């Protein structure tokens, strides 16, 4: 399989799951001290992950939690962020200029900042007090922090059971999804690698990832035009520009917003002959209880999207690492 | 001027401003009773207006306030919405199915609902306790409610001065913007009426309107493909698909997020030969103090967009009232 090292994938996910001890040590301490609310701050892909964390928590929690765009925070601020706030960020490079500037401003306010950094030896690593350093698996890190916060507020009573299943089965299950999806991904890319525009539709804990996949992968890394739209919003405008040949992909996950994406999936065949439905239900996740599949579905989609990326990169002969303008020009 | 009746526009805006007495009677009572937070709920265009109301409040307020998508609320709920919550909605038809269902669910929770309805004799009018009925001017209604909430929390000390200026000058100023922008709008439409894809970029209190203009006007009413992107996010993906011929329009407003849109406006000429900058600063607003222009800029853009719509409808011979699928098919 192209660009796929099973053992490396397994180690990466299992290593991320082991961060839970570090995460819990930190979150338990913050919970003991008390906090007023939780802010997930990011920009671009990390902003999208922040959206996912907030929707993940909304499923269960009455904790005040919201996401904030780093660049917007710099200019507008957010009076809900105070010294009682827990701010959680993630960064691969540790040097994204908007996030560095936002965190400096947040430190003046006195909020507590937890940073997941792939690279701790970085500008963010230098200024943040609480760093957990480990590569990739951003969404998993965010969900583990969110889940611990909810567990400590008695909003996730079966937390231990869930993570027992995750520790035992998650990595292997997701690797199996990748292998199972590879042929689909290849055919999908053969059909769509030259689309003039591709619409991606998603909801719930997959919405942030849908936004990010369209923008941070197709636009930024494949230089392919794409638009993302929330499943519920699709019916309030975007549907009118869809016709027989318009490429539309719908992610149908298993959280509470499944019905919203199912509605799009059921509607599309009436008006469109070029749609793709990616349903996490089509993938076995042995050892993961039915009731947890909604939480796990973004990881199923992530594994499938990774396969699409691997084939897209090859078929379009477009290395995903190159950028036309980002960090190439000054602006 | 095509589709423009100056007196009707003036009467419409001035009539909306006069709703302030009704709005204040209601908000003052709610403030006296106490509330925990404010939720702006909508879907499609009203969801976009909800985003604008939240960003408008963020400029000044420490009140917990957030927007919620009606369809998402139906399936996921939101534990921050309790009987102590003030929920504010707006609807033209009063019959949008997702909003009707969401409000029924919210009433079970016991939250207080204020509904701005163009048509009070409607399903929403029947189920909501507090209705203010008046056509159009949704954003103005939302801002008046938000401003009163902030005034009562001592977050808007010059509230009276602001509304004195609004009552005296707003309607005529906005009508003048429309007249001044008409020639620009005609030329813009002549150039862009057949675009395969048009990118709209906006920030701050114009972001919701940018999202709505791309989706609820170009997609839904003109059947033209478009994508909206937040100014800060533009640099984290979308920029890579912009080239010489890509049509991009940037709204540069005057609130605190002006710098984010200016950054896009300054960057674009390096990589794109088909961009348009619409800057609210280019329009005089006599009688409106400099410090209030940031609040008024979405209305400036709204007047300009209306002129674009009038010309687009004519040049494309596409009546804005027709829908291909919406409320035509069952789904």
Judge: B219–A240 Cβ closer than 8 Å, yes or no: yes
Closest CA to B56 of B183, B191, B181, B209: B209
Helix axes B138-152, B293-315, angle to 10 degrees: 170
Confidence at residue B10, expressed as pLDDT on a 0 to 100 scale: 98
Judge: A76–B55 Cβ closer than 8 Å, yes or no: yes
Q: What is the least distance, in Å, from the CA of B63 to any CA of chain A?
A: 8
Pick from A196, A197, A220: CB nearest B240: A220
User: Looking at the domain B172-315, which fold is it?
Assistant: Rossmann fold (3.40.50)
Rounded Cα–Cα distance for residues A151 and A145 (Å) = 10
Q: What is the mean pLDDT of chain A?
A: 97
Tokens of B165: 């200026």
Closest alpha carbon within chain B to A78:
B58
Q: Which residues pair with A228 in a beta bridge?
A: A200
Q: What is the least distance, in Å, from the CA of B54 to any CA of chain A?
A: 11
Kind plus residue range of the DSSP H or E element containing A302: helix A293-315
Residue by residue, pLDDT tens for chain B (331 residues) are 999 999 999 999 999 999 999 999 999 999 999 999 999 999 999 999 999 999 999 999 999 999 999 999 999 999 999 999 999 999 999 999 999 999 999 999 999 999 999 999 999 999 998 999 999 999 999 999 999 999 999 999 999 999 999 999 999 999 999 999 999 999 999 999 999 999 999 999 999 999 999 999 999 999 999 999 999 999 999 999 999 999 999 999 999 999 999 999 999 999 999 999 999 999 999 999 999 999 999 999 999 999 999 999 999 999 999 999 988 998 8
In three-state secondary structure terms, B134 is coil
Q: Are residues B212 and B49 in contact, defined by beta-carbon separation less than 8 angstroms?
A: yes
Judge: B80–A98 Cβ closer than 8 Å, yes or no: no
Rounded Cα–Cα distance for residues A192 and A224 (Å) = 10
Closest alpha carbon within chain A to B55:
A76
**Overall average pLDDT of the A275-291 stretch:** 98
Q: With 90 as the cut, is the pLDDT of residue A331 above it? A: no
> pLDDT tens digits for A166-189?
999 999 999 999 999 999 999 999
Q: Are residues A68 and A239 in contact, defined by beta-carbon separation less than 8 angstroms?
A: no
Interface with B, mutate which of A59, A154, A237, A271 (most B CBs under 10 A):
A237
Q: What is the least distance, in Å, from the CA of A7 to any CA of chain B?
A: 31
Judge: A240–B216 Cβ closer than 8 Å, yes or no: no
Confidence at residue B79, expressed as pLDDT on a 0 to 100 scale: 98
Q: Residue B241 carries which DSSP code? A: G
Judge: A220–B236 Cβ closer than 8 Å, yes or no: yes
Confidence at residue B323, expressed as pLDDT on a 0 to 100 scale: 95
> pLDDT tens digits for A27-80?
999 999 999 999 999 999 999 999 999 999 999 999 999 999 999 999 999 999
Rounded Cα–Cα distance for residues A53 and A47 (Å) = 10
Judge: B71–A225 Cβ closer than 8 Å, yes or no: no
Chain A residues close to B75, C-beta within 8 Å: 256-260
Judge: B227–A227 Cβ closer than 8 Å, yes or no: yes
Tally Cβ neighbours within 10 Å of residue B104. 12
> Burial letters for B56-77: b for 16+ Cβ neighbours within 10 Å, e otherwise?
bbbbbbebbbbbbbbbbbbbbb
Judge: B239–A325 Cβ closer than 8 Å, yes or no: yes
Q: Which residue has the higher pLDDT, B331 or A158?
A: A158
Confidence at residue A330, expressed as pLDDT on a 0 to 100 scale: 87
> pLDDT tens digits for A236-258?
999 999 999 999 999 999 999 99
Closest alpha carbon within chain A to B66:
A66
Rounded Cα–Cα distance for residues A17 and A144 (Å) = 8
Q: Does domain A159-315 have CATH number 3.40.50.10490?
A: yes
Chain Cα centroid distance, residue B331: 27
Write the DSSP assignment of B195-230 as a string of letters: -S-EEEEE-GGGHHHHHHIIIIIIITTT---EEEEE
Chain B residues close to A54, C-beta within 8 Å: none
Q: With 90 as the cut, is the pLDDT of residue A203 above it? A: yes
Confidence at residue B308, expressed as pLDDT on a 0 to 100 scale: 98
Q: With 90 as the cut, is the pLDDT of residue A93 above it? A: yes
pLDDT band of A129, cuts 50, 70, 90: confident
At residue A230, φ and ψ (nearest 5 deg) are: -65, 140
Q: Does domain B6-152 have CATH number 3.30.413.10?
A: no
Domain ranges of chain B: 6-152, 172-315
* Locus of tokens 């900042």: A113
pLDDT band of A327, cuts 50, 70, 90: confident
Tokens of A328: 């190439």
Confidence at residue A49, expressed as pLDDT on a 0 to 100 scale: 98
At residue A22, φ and ψ (nearest 5 deg) are: -60, -45
Q: What is the least distance, in Å, from the CA of B288 to any CA of chain A?
A: 22
Chain A residues close to B331, C-beta within 8 Å: 235, 263, 266-267, 270
Q: What is the least distance, in Å, from the CA of A74 to any CA of chain B?
A: 9
Closest CA to A213 of A180, A182, A250: A250
Q: What is the least distance, in Å, from the CA of A202 to any CA of chain B?
A: 12
Chain A residues close to B45, C-beta within 8 Å: 236
Closest CA to B170 of B49, B10, B330: B10
Rounded Cα–Cα distance for residues A297 and A303 (Å) = 10
The B130-133 sheet, strands edge to edge: B65-69, B37-42, B85-91, B112-117, B130-133
**Overall average pLDDT of the A307-329 stretch:** 96
Interface with A, mutate which of B236, B295, B330 (most A CBs under 10 A):
B236
Q: Are residues B116 and B90 in contact, defined by beta-carbon separation less than 8 angstroms?
A: yes
> pLDDT tens digits for A108-118?
999 999 999 99
Q: Which long-range contacts (CB under 8 A, 24 or more apart) does A284-291 make?
A: A284/A173, A284/A176, A285/A169, A285/A173, A285/A177, A286/A169, A286/A173, A287/A165, A287/A168, A287/A169, A287/A173, A288/A165, A288/A166, A288/A169, A288/A170, A288/A173, A289/A161, A289/A165
Chain A residues close to B237, C-beta within 8 Å: 44, 214-216, 219-220
Pick from A47, A204, A323: CB nearest B76: A204
Reported ipTM exceeds the 0.95 cut? yes
Chain B residues close to A256, C-beta within 8 Å: 75-77
The answer to whether the A6-152 and A159-315 domains have the same CATH topology is yes
């Amino acid at each position: 399989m192209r660009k796929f090292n099973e053992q490396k994938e397994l180690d990466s996910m299992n290593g991320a799951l082991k961060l839970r001890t570090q995460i819990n040590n930190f979150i338990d301490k913050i919970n003991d001290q008390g906090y007023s609310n939780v802010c997930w701050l990011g920009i671009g892909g990390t902003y999208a992950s922040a959206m996912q964390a907030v929707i993940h928590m909304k499923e269960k929690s009455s904790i005040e939690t919201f996401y904030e765009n780093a660049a917007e925070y710099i200019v507008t601020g957010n009076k809900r962020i105070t010294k009682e706030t827990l701010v959680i960020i993630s960064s691969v490079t540790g040097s994204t200029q908007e996030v560095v500037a936002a965190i400096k401003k947040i430190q003046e306010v006195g909020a507590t900042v937890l940073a997941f950094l792939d690279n701790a030896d970085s500008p963010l690593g230098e200024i943040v007090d609480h760093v957990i350093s480990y590569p990739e698996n951003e969404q998993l890190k965010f969900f583990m922090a969110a889940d611990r916060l909810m567990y400590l507020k008695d909003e996730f009573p079966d937390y231990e059971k869930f993570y027992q299943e995750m520790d035992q089965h998650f990595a292997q299950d997701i690797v199996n999804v990748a292998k199972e999806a590879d042929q689909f991904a290849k055919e999908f890319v053969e059909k769509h690698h030259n689309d003039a525009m591709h619409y991606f539709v998603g909801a719930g804990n997959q919405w942030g990832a849908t936004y990010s996949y369209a923008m941070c992968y197709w636009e930024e890394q494949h230089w392919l035009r794409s638009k993302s739209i929330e499943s519920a919003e699709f019916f309030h405008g975007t549907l009118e520009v869809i016709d027989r040949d318009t490429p539309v992909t719908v992610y149908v996950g298993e959280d509470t917003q499944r019905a919203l994406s199912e509605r799009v999936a059921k509607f599309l065949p009436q008006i469109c002959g070029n749609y793709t439905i990616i349903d996490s239900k089509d993938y076995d996740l042995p050892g993961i209880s039915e009731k947890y599949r909604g939480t796990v579905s973004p990881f199923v989609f992530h594994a499938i999207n990774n396969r699409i990326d691997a084939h897209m990169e090859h078929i379009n002969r477009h290395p995903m690492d190159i950028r036309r303008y980002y960090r190439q020009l000054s602006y």
